[in-house]
Structure 1
Amino acid sequence: MMMPEVSVIVPAFNEERYIEETLRSIRKACAALRDRRTEIVVVDDGSRDGTFKLAMPLSDLVVQHPRSYGKGTALHTGCKMAHGRILVFLDADLGATAERFPSLVEPLLLGQSDMVIASLPPVKKKSGFGLVKKLARKGVHRLSGFEPVAPLSGQRAAHRGVLEHIGRFAGGFGVEVGLTIDAVKLGYRVQELDVPFAHRVSGRDIGGWMHRGKQLCAVGGTLWSRWRQPIC
C-alpha cells in the first residue's frame, strides 16, 4: 500500500454543525495537489454530539478520545496516527474555506519553508479586546525572536521531521504558540502566509468570554513552560 505524502489532521470537539462541510471541502482540495497522495485524519476529542458519526464517511481515519483531553493532545494523537511526510493542521469549523489548505503545503513542497502558518483576514464581528493575541505575540517574540502576525493560528503545515524533532505538544489552546517557539528556536524556517480561511468567531457573550479565558490561561501556561524548559 502506498503511503500518503500529505496528511490533513482535523481536531474536533462538538463540531457537528461544521464538520461535514469542512471535510468535503478538504477532500475537494486534495485534487489541487495533483499527484500527491493524501489522507484525512479526524481526532474526535470526546465529542458529545454527532461529530464522530458525521466524520466517518468523509475521512480516511477517525480517532475518538473517550473524553476531551484538549486541542494539544488531539493534535498529538493525529500526528501519531497519520502517515504523511507533510502534516497539515486544520480546525474543524473552517467550512468551505478549508478548500484553501493547499496554499499551506506549496512552500513545503518547493523547499521554501519548514513550517507554514496561515494568517487569516480580519474578522468583522467584534469579539474580545485582543489580550490573548497580544500576549501570544509578545511571548513568542520574547522567547524566540520571531515576531508573528498570527500567533494563535491553528491552520498550519509542517514537515513531519520538524514535529518529531520538537517532540512535545503544549496542552489545550497553547499548542500553536508552543510549536512556533520550539520550531524557531530549533532553527527551522517558519513562514506566515496570508490565506483567506474563515471560522467561527466567539462573540462578547458569556460563552465567548469563557473561551477567551481558557485561551489566556493556556497561552500563559505555555509561555511559562517554554521559558522554564526551553527546547534548546
Structure 2
Amino acid sequence: MESKFVSIIIPAFNEEDYIEKTIHSAMKLPYLKEVIVVDDGSRDHTKKILSLLKPLYKELRVFSLNHNQGKGQALMYGVKQANGEILVFLDADLGESISYATKLIDPVLQQNADMTIAIFPMSKKKGGFGIVKKLAQQGIYLATGFKTKAPLSGQRAMKREVLTNIHGLDKGFGIEVGLTIDVLKRGFHIQEIKIPFSHRETGRDLQGFIHRGREFIDVFKTLIKKWRMSE
C-alpha cells in the first residue's frame, strides 16, 4: 500500500466523557498521520483535557474556536489546518472504537474509493423512528440516484481533491447529506462500509426528540438548497 500522509480531523463540543479515550486510541492508528482536534467552543472540561493531552503526542494538533460554530464550521477549520493527502472525519465520542477507522481509511489509500462512509451497527437502545434517515436517503436518491444506507454518518475518509472540488461544507446537521450529494454530483466514487464503531446514542426522551427535530429541519433545509442549486 502506498504511504500517504493522513489527517484525522475530530470536531469536539462538550466531549469531556469521551475525548481522552478517543485521542489515545486515534494515536495508535498505523499511519503516517496528524490528529487535528477542533474544540468547538466547549463549555465543559474538553479544552482542559486537550491541553493535558497535547504534550503527550507530537502528532496531536489542537485548535479552539471562541464560541460554538457548529460541526460543519469546526470541520472546515480543521481541513484548512490539515496537511494530509487523505482527510478523515471522525467524531469525538467514538472512544476506543476509533481503532476500526483503518477499515474506513484503507480503501481510499488503495484507490478503491474517493470517499468512504461508515455504516454503524444497529442501535443498542431505541432511538427515533427513522424519519430523518428516510428523508435523507430519499433526498440523496432524488438528487443523485445513489441509494445510501448511511446518509447521516459523519465517519468518513476521502482524498483531499474531493473537498477541493466542492463548495465547502453545509452547516448544522445537514452537513453529511450535503457532502454526499456534492461529492456524487462531481463524479467521485463513494463506498459505504460496515464498521463496528460505537458512540453516544440518543434515546426516546425529550432531549433525544429535540435533537432529532433539529436534525430533521437542517437536513430538509440542506436538501432544498441542493435542489435549488441544481435547477
TM-score where L is the length of structure 2: 0.93
Superposition deviation, residue 55 in structure 1:
2.1
Q: What is residue 114 of structure 1 aligned with on the other side? A: 114
1:152-231 equivalences under 5 Å are 152-230=152-230
CA distance in 2, matches of 1:22, 1:167: 29
CA distance in 1, matches of 2:46, 2:167: 28
1:8 alignment partner, SS class: strand
Higher deviation after alignment, 161-170 or 51-60: 51-60
1:48-197 equivalences under 5 Å are 48-56=43-51, 57-58=53-54, 60-197=60-197
Selected match of 2:40 from 40, 45, 50: 45
CA contact (8 A) 1:117 1:157 kept: yes
Superposition deviation, residue 66 in structure 1:
0.9
Question: Per-residue CA shift, 1:140-195, capped at 9, x if unaligned?
Answer: 11111111000000101000110111132100111111110011110000110111
1:91 alignment partner, SS class: coil
CA distance in 1, matches of 2:149, 2:143: 15
TM-score where L is the length of structure 1: 0.93
Runs of 4+ residues deviating >2 angstroms: none
CA distance in 2, matches of 1:145, 1:44: 36
Superposition deviation, residue 78 in structure 1:
0.9
Residue correspondences, number: 223
* Runs of 5+ unmatched residues, structure 1: none
1:121 alignment partner, SS class: coil
Superposition deviation, residue 54 in structure 1:
1.2
Question: Per-residue CA shift, 1:54-97, capped at 9, x if unaligned?
Answer: 12325621111111111111111111111101000001111110
CA distance in 1, matches of 2:38, 2:115: 21
CA contact (8 A) 1:52 1:62 kept: no
2:165 alignment partner, SS class: helix
Identity between Structure 1 and Structure 2 (%):
49
Which amino acid in the other structure matches residue 47 of structure 2? F
CA distance in 1, matches of 2:153, 2:126: 18
Superposition deviation, residue 10 in structure 1:
0.4
CA distance in 1, matches of 2:188, 2:65: 31
CA distance in 2, matches of 1:63, 1:223: 31
